[in-house]
Amino acid sequence: MSLLTKLSPKGVLWIVLYNIFVLSACTEAPKRTSHHTEGIIASHAIDTSALNHLLEQRIFSESVSQFFVGKTDTVDKLEIFKKVYAAKKCLWIEKQGIKPIGSDLLKVLADLQYDGINIERYQLSELESLSKQIEKEATDEILFSFETLLTDAFLKASRDMVLGYTVNANKEIKNKNDSMFNEVDVLKLALENENMSESFRLMQPQHPWYRKFRKEYIRLSQMKMSESFPTIHPIKDSLVIGDSSVQIALLRKRLFRDIQLPEDTSSAIWKEDVKEGLERFQYLHQLKVTGKPDTATIHKLNASIETKLKSLALNMERMRWLQHDFRQPYIWVAIPKMEMEYVEKDSIAFQMRVVIGRPSRATPALDASILNVVLSPPWTTTGGEGWYMHLLSMLVTIEIFPLDRLLVTEVP
C-alpha cells in the first residue's frame, strides 16, 4: 500500500502544499491522531461567542487605534491576522478552556529550544502565565491575549523553522524555501490535521546532519543541567600504560562527554582505551593525532558545554537557510571537519578528507550544482597560482550540490 492511500484528503493536501513552499521532495505528511495532550480547563465555562466578537472588534476595526500583538508589529502583521481570523472565530479556545491542540503547541514551542532557538522570541513565559490565569480567572482580556499571542507565536515559529530566524548574509547560499512560503496556510493545515508536533517536525530540515545536531543539543543540554565538568589541568605527555592521576579520570569523563569514548569513565589509570579515545577526539577536531594529552588537545577538551551548544545552534540555523530536502545523490563538504561525503540513497557511499583555506583566505560556503568535473588536468602555474589550483579550490569549497547532468572529462 502506498503512502498516499493511507492518508486522509487533508494529509494529501499537506503533501502537495508542503512540497511547494517547504521541501523539494517531501514524502511525509502530518497524520490525524488522537490528542496526546490534555487541554487546560478554565475556571468557568467560556463564552466563545463573546471572545469571537472581541476578536472581530479589535482585529477588523477601522478605528485609528489599531490592534497590534507586539510593540514592534506593523500594519503588515495586522493584515496577516485578518487572514488568520477571516472566519472571525477563535482558534485555541473552546468552551471548556484551552483546546488540546493549544496545549500541544505550547509544548512544541518549548521544545524549539533544542533547535537552538531562543524560545522567548515567542513570549512563552507570558503564554504560560496567561494559561495559568485562565485556570483561575478566565476573563475576556486574558483569553484575548492568550489567543492572539499563541497565534503570533505559531506564525513566528513556523517562519523561523522554515526560513531561519536570522538574516542570511551569505549571498552564495540563497534561501530555497522562501519563494512561496505562507505561514497562514501552514497554520490552517496544522489546525486541520490537529497535530502540531508532526507539523513542526516536517518543517525541520530533513537532512540527517540536522537530526544529529539536534540530538546532540538535547544530550548536552541535559548534561549541562545534571553534571559539572572541572577544568582539566596539563598532564605530562610522557604517559605510559599503568600511570594513574586524578586528571586522567577527568580526561576520561570529558572524552566520553564529547565522543562517548572511552566507556570506562571512573578509572584514573592510563590505558589503551584512553589513548584511542584521544586519537579519535584529535581526528574529529582537526588536531595532530598523537594519542597524547598535549596542550592543544586539553584546550579543546576544556571547551564549555555552552560553547558547544552555541556552535550547534549556529549550524542548525545555517541548515534552515538551505533547501530542507536535498535531491540525491549529492556531495556534502563539511568545512570545519575538512571532509567530503558523497550521499546516495540516504547513506554515505564515499568519504574523504579535503583541503580548506586558511583563516586569511577562508573557504566560502556555497550552494551550487556541479555540471562538469575535470580529472587529471594539466599542472600549470600560468597566471599566478594557475587555473588548476583555482579549479581544485572551487571543487572543495562547494558546500552542497545535487549531482544532476554531471559531465566527467579526463584531460590527457
Last residue of a domain, one of 254, 286, 301: 301
Q: List, in sequence order, every residue forming a beta bridge with 374; answer none if it has no partner.
A: 409
User: Among 11-20, 88-97, 224-233, whose mean pLDDT is lowest?
Assistant: 11-20
User: Residue 157 has what pLDDT?
Assistant: 97
Of the chain, the percentage scoring pLDDT greater than 90 comes to: 50
Instruction: Choose from 34-48, 109-123, 195-209 the range with maximum mean pLDDT.
Output: 109-123
Q: Does pLDDT of 412 surpass 60?
A: no
Confidence (pLDDT) at 359: 82
CATH number, domain of 257, equals 1.10.101.10
Q: How many C-beta atoms lie closer than 10 Å to residue 299's C-beta?
A: 11
Pairwise pLDDT comparison (33 vs 54), residue with the higher score: 54
What is the rounded average pLDDT of the residues 354-364? 85
Q: Is the pLDDT of residue 399 over 60?
A: no
Is the Cβ–Cβ distance between 39 and 99 less than 8 Å?
yes
Q: Total structural domains in the chain?
A: 3
CB-CB contact of 274 with 240 (8 Å): no
| Shared-domain flag, residues 112 and 249 | no
Neighbours of 240 (CB within 10 A): 6
pLDDT of residue 197 exceeding 80, the answer is yes
Q: Which three cell numbers stand for residue 146?
A: 492568550
Among residues 61, 18, 403, 1, the alpha carbon closest in space to that of 181 is found at: 18
For 268-277, 315-324, 345-354, 385-394, which range has the lowest pLDDT when averaged over its residues? 385-394
Mean pLDDT confidence for 216-241: 88
pLDDT in tens, 145-189: 999 999 999 999 999 999 999 877 776 666 656 667 889 999 999
Does one domain contain both 154 and 101?
Answer: yes
- The arithmetic mean of pLDDT across residues 124-148, rounded, is 94
- Check pLDDT > 90 for residue 25: no
Claim to verify: residue 80 and residue 33 sit in the same structural domain: yes
Cell numbers for 297: 588537545
Residue 8 in this model has a pLDDT that exceeds 90: no
Same domain membership, residue 97 and residue 168: yes
Mean pLDDT of 296-315: 93
What is the average per-residue pLDDT within 89-111?
96
Specify whether the CB–CB gap between 232 and 254 falls below 8 A.
Answer: yes
pLDDT given at position 78: 84
Q: pLDDT digits over 51-85, tens only?
A: 999 999 989 877 645 566 665 666 577 889 999 99
Q: What is the pTM of this model?
A: 0.76
Higher pLDDT residue, 210 or 36? 210
Q: Is residue 353 part of a domain?
A: yes
- Does any domain span residue 245? yes
Q: Are both 115 and 48 inside the same structural domain?
A: yes
CB 325 within 8 A of CB 25: yes
pLDDT of residue 396: 45
pLDDT over 90 (residue 228): no
What spatial distance separates the first Cα and last Cα of the chain, rounded to whole Å? Answer: 52
Among the residue ranges 7-16, 248-257, 391-400, the one predicted with the least confidence is 7-16
Containing structural domain, residue 170:
3-205
Within-domain flag for 257: yes
As a residue count, the chain comes to 412
Instruction: Choose among 173, 166, 168, 164: nearest CA to 203.
Output: 164
Helices 124-136, 140-163: inter-axial angle, 10-degree rounding: 150
The angle subtended at Cα 358 by Cα 353 and Cα 391, nearest 5°, is 65
Q: How far is CA 337 from CA 170, 248, 329, 352, in A?
A: 20, 27, 21, 11
Is residue 219 situated within a structural domain?
Answer: no
Q: Is the peptide bond before 329 cis (omega within 30 degrees of 0)?
A: yes
Q: Is residue 254 part of a domain?
A: yes
Residue 334: the pLDDT is: 84
> Any idea which residue has 478566565 for its cell?
138
- pLDDT score, position 307: 92
Which residue type sits at 76? D
Phi, psi angle pair for 154, to nearest 5°? -65, -50
CA 129 to chain centre: 27
Q: Are residues 265 and 382 in the same domain?
A: no
With CA atoms as reference, report the closest residue to 109 among 165, 166, 167, 150: 150
Residue that has been written with the C-alpha cell 493549544 in this structure: 102
Residue-wise burial string across 102-129, b where 16 or more C-beta atoms lie within 10 A, e elsewhere: bbbbbebbeebbbbbbebeebbbeebee
Q: Which of 16-25, 110-119, 347-356 is least confident?
A: 16-25
- Residue 328, pLDDT above cutoff 90: no
Longest dimension (CA), the chain: 84
Q: What is the mean pLDDT of residues 96-107?
A: 96
394 against 94, higher pLDDT: 94
Residue 120 lies in a domain: yes
Return d(Cα 95, Cα 93) in angstroms, integer.
7
Same domain for 255 and 189: no
What is the rounded distance in angstroms from the CA atom of residue 24 to the CA atom of residue 337? 27
Mean pLDDT to the nearest integer, 193-198? 92
Q: What integer pLDDT is reported at residue 175 of this predicted model? A: 61
Q: What percent of the chain has pLDDT over 70?
A: 76
Please check whether residues 265 and 385 belong to one and the same domain: no
73 Cβ partners below 8 Å, 6+ apart? none
Domain match, 177 and 249 both: no
* Boundary-marking domain end, from 188, 205, 222: 205
Q: Assess if residue 152 is contained within a domain.
A: yes
Q: Phi and psi at residue 126, in whole multiples of 5°?
A: -65, -40
Residue 63: the pLDDT is 63
**Do 82 and 156 fall within a single domain?**
yes
Phi first, then psi: give them for residue 17, nearest 5 degrees: -65, -40
SS3 104: helix
For residue 262, whether the previous peptide bond is cis, meaning omega lies within 30 degrees of 0, is yes
User: Is residue 221 included in any domain, yes or no?
Assistant: no
| Average of per-residue pLDDT across 238-265 | 93
Same domain, 26 and 138: yes
Residue 28 has pLDDT above 60, yes or no: no
User: Are 195 and 287 part of one and the same domain?
Assistant: no
**Domain boundary pick from 186, 205, 224:** 205
pLDDT confidence bin for 378, thresholds 50/70/90? low
